[in-house]
Amino acid sequence: MMKQLFPKQHVMGFVFSLVLSVVALSVLAFDMSYKMGMAILLVTAIAQASVQLLLFMHIGESEDKKTLYTNIIYALFVGVVTILGTLLTMIWGYQ
């Protein structure tokens, strides 16, 4: 019963996401450059999001999976453009 209710994939996914959170915490524990810290945060956050999307949300399971991937990629495109573009116009590129 326990095996049936707690499939290995889900348990592994959960453990993995906890581990990733701890790795992310390391940016506070160790002395490192800003760039290095940001790199770690980006990698761990993206990995965590992927765990949720692929494992828990089953994005690839239905007949519409192409649409779903396109949708997410499009949304990320718009999101990244909004964030980086705003920083570009309002901060980095401001005189």
Partner 1 sequence: MKIDESLPLEYSTEENRLKILGFWIFLGAEIALFSTLFAVYFALENRFGTGPSAQEIFHMPPVMIETILLLTSSFTIGLGIHAMRLGLKKAMMTFFVITLVLGLGFLGVEIYEFVTYVNEGATIQTSAFLSSLMTLLGTHGLHVTFGLFWGTSILLQVRKRGLTPQTANKSFIFSLYWHFLDVVWIFIFSFVYLKGLMVL
Partner 2 sequence: MESHEQQFLILNEPMIVGAMISIVVGALSILLGLTYFKKWGYLWREWITTVDHKKIGVMYILVALVMLFRGGVDALLMRGQTAMPENGLLDAQHYNEIFTTHGVIMILFMAMPFIIGLINVVTPLQIGARDVAFPRLNSVSFWLFAAGAGLFNISFIIGGSPDAGWSAYFPLASLEFSPTVGNNYYSLSLQIAGLGTLMTGINFVVTILKMRAPGMTLMKMPMFTWSVLITNVIIVFAFPVLTVALALMTMDRQFGTKFFAMQDGGMDMLWANLFWVWGHPEVYIVILPAFGIFSEIISTFARKNLYGYKSMVVSMVAISLLSFVVWAHHFYTMGHGVMVNSIFSITTMAIAVPTGVKIFNWLLTLHKGKISFTTPMLYSLAFIPIFTIGGVTGVMLAMASADYQYHNTMFLVAHFHYVLIPGTVFAVIAGFHFWFPKVFGFRLNEKLGKLAFWFITISFNVAFFPLFILGLNGMTRRMYTYSESTGYGPLNMLSFIGAVGLGIGFIILVYNLYWSIRYSPRDETGDPWDARSLEWATHSPVPVYNFARVPKIKELDAFWFAKKNNQPLSDGPYEPIHMPSNSGMPFLMSGAFFAAGFCAVFSWWIPAIVFTIAIFVFMALRSFEQDHGYYISVEEIERTERELGGDKE
Q: Note the residues at the interface with partner 1 (CB under 8 A).
A: 4-7, 10, 13-14, 17-18, 21, 24-25, 27-28, 31, 34, 37-38, 41-42, 44-45, 48-49, 52-53, 55-57, 59, 62-64, 67-68, 71-72, 74-76, 78-80, 82-83, 85-87, 90-91
Shortest distance, position 55 Cβ to partner 1, whole Å: 8
Please count the other Cβ atoms lying within 10 Å of the Cβ belonging to residue 48. 19
- 89 is an interface residue for partner 2 by CB under 8 A: yes
Closest separation in Å from C-beta 64 to partner 1: 5
Among 8-16, 37-45, 53-61, 87-95, the segment contacting partner 2 (CB under 8 A): 87-95
What the block records as the tokens of 25 is 């915490």
Q: For tokens 């705003």, what's the residue?
A: 86
Q: Which is nearer to partner 2, 12 or 81 (CB)?
A: 81
DSSP of 20-79: HHHHHHHHHHS---HHHHHHHHHHHHHHHHHIIIIIIS-TTSSTTHHHHHHHHHHHHHHH
55 neighbors 13 (Cβ within 8 angstroms): yes
